[in-house]
Amino acid sequence: MKKNKLVLFIAFIFAIPVLMFMFWWLKPKNKMVVAIIDKTVLTSDGQEHISLTWILNHERLTKTNTKRYNIRNDYFGFFPKDNEKFRLKGLERFTDVQLKQLSDDADIAYFTDTYGIYKKEWYNQHTDQRSSGILYGGLSEKDLDFLALMKAKKKLIVTEFNTIGSPTTQQNRSRFESMFGMHWTGWTARYFDSLDTLKNTELPKWLVKNYKTSNNNKWTFKRAGIAFVSDLDQVVILEDATHLTNDIPMIVTSKFGMEKFGLPERMKYPFWFDVIVPNNKVNQNISNFEISTNQKGKAELAKYGIPASFPAVLMHNGNDYKFYYFSGDFCDNPLSMTSSYFRGIEFFKFLMYDTEDKMERKSFFWNFYRPLMTTILKEQANKK
């Protein structure tokens, strides 16, 4: 009897993923044309747009009536090939007629990353310079023309961190800012769980070098902290205890955002983000980044004109156009596309990450990005 129960239990455990896959497969496909722009695809894994593609596949949102989105092919931008070769298939090659056609066909434009690919990364050069000559990147005039067409046609536009940062020209940046009612301060930032150069190999050499250049060649930081970097290569460091009462940046969501998108009130964010100033007459703040400073940290930020609170998610949801800006590198999370094929996988999300690890980003995907983007996509699907 006990043996039979054990066999049944084991069979049930093995049946769960099979049933989850079957439920996913049986869910009807829904065509939704998303123009994904990603200029920072260093490998064919498509890391910078994987979170979006995961959700599209999980929700059975397809590029045609039958074909699913392929993370390796279904985007515009930089395409890596073997032996240090690559192809450029961005919007820059489009004629005005082709751009108009794309804006007619697309339901959504999503700019996941325009930072681009630099020679030092592509050719695996070892340098302490922040950049060493760009191969491809930056928000282009054709990108902006496409965004203008999508806006005029009241199509959904989603953009995020570094859409208008370096290496985008000031002229193109200003055009984007005017078009969508926001302004980049020139500052980007990231959390590091250790600022000790002997312990943390992820600390960029250029960041340490630029800080030392302006601070008598000194780098005295050992604890966790946040590094702010300007487009003029200034570096500001806020260290835990020295400047911060809570070392990690937090995303704090409004009551409206919690109710509409199912977001948590507070969410840690340990990756890159930019400091944005919104036009609140145009856009609504759904969530804000909050940097928890003490008086010394507050003074350090004030010295450089950096606010301690600024938008994480901006929304314009008017009758004239639909627009979102995510101030973090939200679409870049360490995921496997395999898990997107299982219906109800979110009920097992607690198995996907370690809450004690401050640097992990999977919890951000499961608890913040997935509900946010799923809600946005479902709203769009219901309007079709």
For 171-225, what is each residue's pLDDT tens digit? 999 999 999 999 999 999 999 999 999 999 989 999 999 999 999 999 999 999 9
| Triad 30, 365, 383: Cα angle to 5° | 30
User: What was the pLDDT predicted at 125?
Assistant: 56
User: What was the pLDDT predicted at 16?
Assistant: 87
Closest CA to 138 of 110, 115, 161, 113: 115
Closest CA to 127 of 209, 192, 188: 209
**Residue 286: C-alpha distances to residues 2, 65, 81, 248 (Å):** 54, 33, 39, 20
Closest CA to 134 of 65, 86, 64: 86
Rounded Cα distance, 155 and 25, in Å? 29
Q: Is residue 358 part of a domain?
A: yes
User: What was the pLDDT predicted at 10?
Assistant: 64
Q: Is residue 270 part of a domain?
A: no
Q: Is the peptide bond before 28 cis (omega within 30 degrees of 0)?
A: no
Q: Is residue 214 part of a domain?
A: no
User: What was the pLDDT predicted at 338?
Assistant: 95
Find out whether 216 and 171 touch, Cβ atoms under 8 Å.
no
Rounded Cα distance, 249 and 190, in Å? 8
Please name the residue that has the structure tokens 């479902």.
Answer: 378
Q: Is residue 15 part of a domain?
A: no
Rounded Cα distance, 45 and 334, in Å? 11
Q: Is residue 209 part of a domain?
A: no
Q: Is residue 68 part of a domain?
A: yes
**Residue 135: C-alpha distances to residues 40, 118, 176, 206, 238 (Å):** 10, 5, 23, 19, 33
Rounded Cα distance, 156 and 191, in Å? 31
Spans of the chain, pLDDT less than 50: none
Q: Is residue 232 part of a domain?
A: no
Domain that holds residue 91: 24-184+278-296+311-383
Rounded Cα distance, 108 and 110, in Å? 6
Q: Is residue 11 part of a domain?
A: no
Q: Which residues contact 323 (CB under 8 A, 6 or more apart)?
A: 151, 156, 157, 158, 159, 180, 283, 314, 315, 316
User: What was the pLDDT predicted at 38?
Assistant: 97
User: What was the pLDDT predicted at 132?
Assistant: 66
Indicate the number of domains in the chain: 1
Please give the sequence-ordered ranges of beta strands (E in DSSP) within the chain, or none if there are none: 30-31, 34-38, 61-62, 76-80, 86-89, 108-113, 117-118, 134-136, 156-160, 182-192, 225-230, 235-239, 244-253, 266-268, 273-278, 284-293, 309-317, 322-326
